[in-house]
Structure 1
Amino acid sequence: MIVALLNQKGGVGKTTLALHLAGAWAREGKRVTLIDADPQGSALDWSEQRAKEGVPRLFGVIGLARDTLHREAPELARDARHVVIDGPPRITGLMRSALLAADLVLIPAQPSPFDGWASGEMLKLIVEALIFRPQLVAPFVLDRCGARTIIARETAELLVDHDPPVLGSTIGQRVGFADAARSGRLVGEIDDDGPAAREIASLTAEIERLMR
């Protein structure tokens, strides 16, 4: 399965989700490759920091920020159970290539005044991709939800019949994700029973159910 994290809006947590989904599957014993298709190279930086910290590698991270991704990712998928693509922060040929490569596109968005929900460009790209990949699944996932607020629940309820849909699992705005990033780790490696780790586990399980 090839999963791409895409949204033309920056700062919505694409890299964090990409790393943690890849890590969750790798910790289950599955072979995983993460493609860093963001020219900023944040996932590669995380991988390098992990090596500096002397933490064993969980999965491979490959820099592949070019618009031939739709041809190269399936080749990588032959040798891995899951390929996770951390996509670019703007609409480019590279983002279109990632869309064409993916079986599942997750669109992270913060639950603030329709942060990304009304993005006509992103939704238009998905519609275009469905012409060539009719089996493509492309839900939104609410990310960086503020603690002790009801806005995430209200947004999810409002968008329950939205097309594309919104996943039931949400990811909070938690310090643990920043701490993990600085040390080249995953939140589950720092606190396997903490709220951040539980949210990632819930999201991973929902994705598995969705793609059966």
Structure 2
Amino acid sequence: MIVALLNQKGGVGKTTLALHLAGQWAQSGRRVMLIDADPQGSALDWAEQRAAEGLPRQFSVIGLARDTLHQEAPALARDVDHVIIDGPPRVAGLLRSALLAADLILIPVQPSPLDGWASAEMLALLDQARIFKPAITARFLLNRYPARTIIARATAESLEAHDPPLLPEHVGQRVIFAEAMRTGRLASELDEDGIAAREVAALADAIERLAP
């Protein structure tokens, strides 16, 4: 399965989610490859930090920020169980290629009226991709979700009737994710039984159930 995390708005947590999903599946015995399709290369930076810390590599991270991604990713997927694409912000050619490469599109959004979560441009690109690949599955994913706030509830309610639909699982706003990104670690390595690790595990299970 090829899963792409895409949103034209930067700063919604695509890289953090991509790395933690990859780590969760790898820890569950899956063979996983993460493709860093963001020219900023944040996932590659994380992998380099991990290597510098002397930590074992759990999954491979490669840089592939070019618009031939849809041609190259399927070949890479033959040797692994899951490919995860950490997508770019606002690079239309790369976004189109990532959309065509993926079996499942996750659109991370934050609970904010200013976040552009219902970007007409993003959804238009998804509709265009479905012309060539009708079987693409897509879901909105609430990230950095501050529980028990009015805006969080309002965002979730507004997305429940949306197309693409909203995944019922969400990931909270937790300091441990920032620490994980800084140190080349995963939240589960910092706190194996913590709520962040449990949220990532639940999200990974939910995504696997969507596999085509």
State the shift of 1:150 in Å.
4.1
Q: Give runs of aligned pairs for residues 111-126 of structure 1, distance below 5 A.
A: 111-113=111-113, 115-126=115-126
Q: Which runs of 5+ in 2 are unaligned?
A: none
Give distance in 2, aligned partners of 1:11 and 1:127.
24
State the shift of 1:158 in Å.
2.5
Give the partner amino acid of 2:197. Answer: A
Give distance in 2, aligned partners of 1:152 and 1:27.
31
State the shift of 1:147 in Å.
4.6
Residues 156, 168 of structure 1: 8 Å contact kept: no
Deviations 1:46-90 (A, max 9, x none): 000000111100000000000000000001000010000001111
State the shift of 1:174 in Å.
0.6
Q: Give runs of aligned pairs for residues 40-119 of structure 1, distance below 5 A.
A: 40-113=40-113, 115-119=115-119
TM-score, normalized by length of structure 1?
0.96
SS at match of 1:162: coil
Residues 110, 117 of structure 2: 8 Å contact kept: no
Counterpart for residue 142 of structure 2: 142
Give distance in 2, aligned partners of 1:34 and 1:111.
26
SS at match of 1:100: helix
Give distance in 2, aligned partners of 1:114 and 1:104.
26
Give distance in 2, aligned partners of 1:110 and 1:202.
18
Counterpart for residue 185 of structure 2: 185
Give distance in 2, aligned partners of 1:159 and 1:93.
27
Moved more, 81-90 or 91-100: 91-100
Counterpart for residue 205 of structure 1: 205
Q: How many residues align?
A: 212
State the shift of 1:145 in Å.
1.6
Give distance in 1, aligned partners of 2:148 and 2:163.
27
Counterpart for residue 13 of structure 2: 13
Residues 10, 89 of structure 1: 8 Å contact kept: yes
SS at match of 1:145: coil
Counterpart for residue 194 of structure 2: 194
| % identical equivalent positions | 71
Give the partner amino acid of 1:46. Answer: W
Give distance in 2, aligned partners of 1:31 and 1:72.
18
Counterpart for residue 39 of structure 1: 39
The list of structure 1 runs, each at least 4 consecutive aligned residues, that deviate by more than 6 angstroms after superposition, is none
Aligned Cα RMSD in Å? 1.2
